[in-house]
């Protein structure tokens, strides 16, 4: 799998994949109900690509948290966060107690956290990354993931010298990725009718 800083992504999701800031906050802003479904959390073996991104030896384990992000009960994003196991007991120990709260509550609300530039990829159906996401997605979301290239992004957050790799994958073919325009329209309509009543 080759990650790149070039934002080569399908047009319908490009704004979402390339957007900086908190993805969870953006999703919550276009929904009546934003929820985090925890799929797994704990010590796991890391892939070679993840280990390289964290500056770890090729074969090692780390602390892993996998979730689905849901908008109005619809699963839209698969997210996997990985950090060295020692870091999950040190600078990143707060991720252990997140429960169903988004990781953004830590990443974007606490001081001393530095984010590296976003990297992008497309998981092809023949690749192991696609298979891993598809397995988790179909089990948790209870829907079949399309056999097509799936957009993904990742970045490394550093706190007190300890890295945390966050990967977000956008498998949903049902998600209305034009939400932002619809939400702006609804807000403008509410403002218009509010002015008419006053």
Q: Answer yes or no: is pLDDT of 29 > 60.
A: yes
Q: What is the pLDDT of residue 186?
A: 43
Domain count of the fold of the chain: 1
CB-based contact 50:85 (threshold 8 Å): no
Residue 52 lies in a domain: yes
Residue 4 lies in a domain: no
Domain of 88 in residue numbering reads as 11-197
Residue 6 lies in a domain: no
Degrees to nearest 5, angle at CA 40 with 148 and 113:
90
CB-based contact 165:82 (threshold 8 Å): yes
Q: Answer yes or no: is pLDDT of 192 > 90.
A: no
Residue 2 lies in a domain: no
Residue 1 lies in a domain: no
Percent of the chain residues topping a pLDDT of 70: 86
Query: What are the pLDDT digits (tens) for 106-164?
Result: 999 898 999 999 999 988 888 888 888 888 888 887 777 777 788 999 999 999 999 99
Residue 116 lies in a domain: yes
Q: What is the pLDDT of residue 193?
A: 37
DSSP structure string for 19-60 = --S-HHHHHHTT-S-EEEEEEEEEEEEPPHHHHHHHT--SS-
CATH of the domain at 33: 3.40.1410.10
């Amino acid at each position: 799998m080759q990650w790149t800083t070039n934002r080569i992504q399908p047009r319908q999701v490009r704004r979402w994949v390339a957007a900086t800031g908190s993805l969870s906050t953006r999703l919550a802003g276009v929904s009546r109900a934003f929820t985090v479904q925890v799929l797994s959390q704990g010590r796991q073996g890391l892939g070679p690509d993840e280990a390289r991104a964290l500056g770890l030896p090729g074969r090692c384990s780390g602390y892993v948290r996998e979730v689905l992000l849901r908008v109005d009960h619809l699963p839209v994003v698969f997210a996997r966060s990985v950090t060295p196991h020692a870091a999950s007991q040190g600078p990143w120990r707060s991720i252990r107690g997140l429960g169903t709260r988004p990781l953004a509550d830590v990443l974007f609300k606490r001081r001393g956290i530095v984010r590296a530039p976003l990297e992008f990829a497309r998981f092809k159906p023949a690749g192991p990354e696609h298979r891993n996401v598809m397995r988790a997605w179909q089990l948790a979301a209870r829907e079949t993931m399309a056999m097509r290239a799936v957009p993904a992004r990742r970045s490394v957050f550093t706190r007190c010298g300890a890295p945390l790799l966050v990967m977000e994958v956008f498998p949903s073919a049902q998600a209305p990725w034009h939400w932002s325009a619809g939400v702006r329209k609804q807000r403008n309509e509410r403002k218009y009718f509010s002015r008419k009543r006053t």
